[in-house]
């Protein structure tokens, strides 16, 4: 769920956005469009794979230790980035970090800081990952958020390999409580090894009423995950919107303290959520109909949704990679035909699409599917440009 402070920026960026900046692509010369596994393979024109597993530290940087914790003396959220990686073209072409106070409505002030986003080297994995951190200080919660530069995603299939890092473990992952008695944090124990009171979000967003969410609440049991299309609440009636939000209990000993692949498919009229390529849920209510960006965040405001973090508590989430196939409002231009389709799921190497088909018989089907998306996208793009 996204604070409202970003709404005006999203609207300004969406209006005519595709007119001035082409979508980033990882297509390769042999792929004209992309398919996914599941109920509907879709036909997407763009592909991005962002891999955080093999990032090398610059001279003087140490990815085996998390950055220092904030002490609460700075309430502006304007701390510097934790690595030169976050100032590089590699990072900046896809992402930007939000900073400063958010508009979450809870009783505890919520401030985003770049110091809570870092690269960590996990010796168990033999790889690095992108880490997000939230820390409860005396007078506020220090959070973080990462947003895509692309704000005109219009239908997509997005997946990531992520986890909440356990605070009680033999792993070499960041240990938030090495310098304190872990039993002093309410709700933190061997069966629930992550401090309660935060929300990990991975979602498409245009406004508070046009949003599709994967959310993990650390106050929930570690096998529970929340899926929703916004709005899921009617302020006029003070009632939840039936069917807009669902709490899923993962089966087969799957929980969010282990690495798993989480995926959200956003199609015209339907949203689908997957874990490890298994369909978890499908919704047709409140499916977004406007272009969006992708957001990753980890936050708390002490409210009824996030719950309250204990002072001194800390939560860390990790992302190994993020993969997106998507269309954009207004389309990419050029031919709508798909001479060569490539699949992105169940491939030999994650992030490297493989040819699925290459024949004229499939062109008609792919052209029909793409044109359906593009007709809607072009109409919406024209409307946004006019207003």
Structural contact between residues 90 and 104, judged by C-beta atoms closer than 8 angstroms: no
302 alpha carbon, distance to own chain's centre: 22
pLDDT band at 186 (very low <50, low <70, confident <90, very high): confident
The tokens describing 337, both together, are 């035909």
The secondary structure of residue 56, as a DSSP letter, is P
Q: In this predicted model, what pLDDT tens digit does every residue of 191-223 receive, in sequence order? A: 899 999 999 999 999 999 999 999 999 999 999
> Among the CATH numbers 3.20.20.70, 2.60.120.200, 2.40.30.260, 1.20.1050.10, which is that of 4-386?
2.60.120.200
Question: Does 103 score more than 50 pLDDT?
Answer: yes
Residue percentage of the chain with pLDDT more than 90: 70
Q: How confident is the model at residue 5 (pLDDT cuts 50, 70, 90)?
A: very low
Domain-wise residue ranges, the chain: 4-386
- pLDDT score, position 172: 76
pLDDT of 6 above 50: no
Alpha helices in the chain (DSSP H): 7-14, 89-92, 360-386
pLDDT digits (tens, 9 = 90+) for 68-88: 999 999 899 999 999 999 999
Q: Which two tokens stand for residue 328?
A: 């954009």
Mean per-residue pLDDT, 279-285: 98
312 is written with which tokens?
A: 């001194």
309: which DSSP letter? P
- The answer to whether the beta carbons of residues 197 and 307 sit under 8 Å apart is yes
* Number of continuous H segments (helices) and E segments (strands) in the chain: 3, 22
Mean pLDDT of the chain: 85
CA–CA distance, 344 with 352 (Å, rounded to integer): 7
Mean pLDDT of 283-296: 98
Which residues on adjacent β-strands are paired with residue 283? Answer: 271
Whole-angstrom distance, CA of residue 243 vs CA of residue 105: 24
pLDDT reported for residue 22: 39
Residue 257 near residue 164, CB atoms below 8 Å = yes
């Amino acid at each position: 769920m996204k604070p409202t402070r970003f709404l005006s920026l999203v609207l300004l960026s969406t209006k005519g956005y595709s007119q001035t900046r082409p979508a980033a692509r990882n297509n390769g010369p042999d792929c004209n469009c992309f398919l996914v596994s599941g109920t509907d393979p879709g036909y997407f024109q763009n592909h991005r794979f962002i891999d955080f597993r093999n990032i090398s530290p610059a001279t003087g940087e140490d990815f085996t230790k998390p950055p220092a914790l904030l002490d609460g003396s700075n309430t502006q959220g304007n701390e510097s980035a934790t690595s030169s990686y976050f100032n590089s073209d590699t990072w900046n072409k896809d992402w930007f970090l939000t900073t400063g106070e958010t508009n979450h409505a809870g009783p505890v002030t919520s401030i985003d800081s770049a110091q809570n986003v870092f690269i960590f080297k996990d010796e168990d994995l033999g790889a690095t990952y992108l880490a997000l951190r939230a820390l409860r200080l005396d007078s506020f919660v220090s959070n973080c958020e990462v947003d895509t530069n692309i704000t005109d995603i219009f239908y997509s299939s997005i997946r990531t390999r992520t986890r909440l890092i356990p605070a009680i473990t033999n792993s070499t992952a960041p240990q938030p409580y090495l310098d304190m008695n872990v039993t002093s944090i309410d709700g933190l124990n061997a069966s629930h090894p992550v401090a309660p009171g935060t929300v990990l979000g991975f979602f498409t967003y245009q406004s508070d009423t046009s949003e599709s969410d994967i959310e993990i609440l650390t106050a929930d049991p570690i096998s529970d995950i929340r899926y929703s299309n916004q709005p899921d609440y009617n302020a006029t009636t003070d009632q939840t919107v039936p069917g807009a939000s669902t709490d899923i209990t993962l089966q087969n000993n799957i929980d969010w303290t282990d690495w798993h692949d989480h995926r959200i498919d956003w199609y015209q009229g339907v949203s689908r959520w997957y874990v490890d390529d298994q369909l978890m849920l499908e919704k047709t209510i409140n499916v977004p109909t406007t272009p969006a960006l992708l957001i990753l965040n980890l936050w708390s405001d002490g409210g009824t949704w996030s719950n309250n973090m204990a002072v001194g508590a800390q939560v860390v989430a990790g992302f190994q990679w993020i993969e997106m196939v998507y269309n954009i409002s207004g389309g990419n231009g050029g031919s709508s035909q798909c001479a060569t389709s490539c699949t992105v799921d169940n491939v030999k190497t994650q992030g490297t699409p493989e040819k699925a088909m290459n024949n004229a018989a499939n062109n008609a089907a792919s052209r029909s599917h793409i044109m359906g998306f593009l007709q809607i996208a072009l109409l919406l793009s024209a409307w946004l440009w006019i207003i």
